[in-house]
Amino acid sequence: MRNDRHLAIKLRKKGASYNKICKELDIPKSTMHYWFRNLRWSQEIKKALTEKAQLLATKRIKAMAQANKRKWAEWRHRHRKTAKKEFSILKSIPLFAAGLMLYWGEGDNKPRGDVRLTNINPQMIRLFYKFLQEICSIPKEKIHVRLLLYPDLSNKKSQYFWHKSTKIPLSQFGKSSVIYGRHPTKRLENGICLLRVSASGDLKEKIITWINLLSRDLIKQKRA
């Protein structure tokens, strides 16, 4: 028997994995498989090592999930705290309340994701665009527009209509999407406009916090 095989068996019986034995004795893994392929006791060690590895992996996944949960909880708490401080300053501004009510009614209120508002009314789009810039201090290059159009509508004409009506530069318009309505004749003349702020997780957290604070204040107010 080769001296390295004797040492490999000794290490294996102590519960060492193939990787550990190969590294310690500088033996190819293929050789290890050949030596131990028909040994029942080695298979039992392999099974025990696999179960142990699975248990450790499960514990690591749980630990990572808990750490990630704490991270996001701290992130939300930080942005909500900032939003509460800003609310006391902004709540008396009409544009602030108007923008929040628009988003509450027409925006994407999912807990995560981009700040998005979709509507067929150019005035609503223009007002929310103004809210994003003047209240939220969002640079215009982070605000993007996409149109949802029926197949028979001209993309160029529709973009120009929304550009002229909302005063949003054409450079902020992205590729339009085609939609198909159920009714053959009832069509939205200029399509649907979708306004989106990229990388806006922190903004969304603040807007949702502002909406909750404003709605609570309005409910509490008594008629004079």
Residues 6 or more apart whose CB falls under 8 angstroms from that of 98 comprise: 127, 131
In total, the chain counts a number of residues equal to: 224
Backbone torsions φ then ψ of 169, nearest 5 degrees: -60, 145
* pTM summary value: 0.69
Q: What is the pLDDT of residues 67-124, one digit of tens each?
A: 888 877 787 888 889 999 999 999 999 999 999 999 999 998 777 778 999 999 999 9
For the beta sheet containing 143-149, the strands, ordered from the edge strand earlier in sequence to the opposite edge, are 115-119, 192-197, 143-149, 177-178
Residues 6 or more apart whose CB falls under 8 angstroms from that of 66 comprise: none
Characterize 135-146 residue by residue with b for buried, 16 or more Cβ atoms within 10 angstroms of its Cβ, and e for exposed: bbebeeeebbbb
Q: What is the pLDDT along the chain (224 residues), one digit of tens a residue?
A: 456 787 877 877 787 887 887 888 888 888 878 787 878 887 888 888 888 888 888 888 888 888 888 877 787 888 889 999 999 999 999 999 999 999 999 998 777 778 999 999 999 999 999 999 999 999 988 999 999 998 888 999 999 999 999 999 999 999 999 888 665 555 678 899 999 997 667 899 999 999 999 999 988 876 65
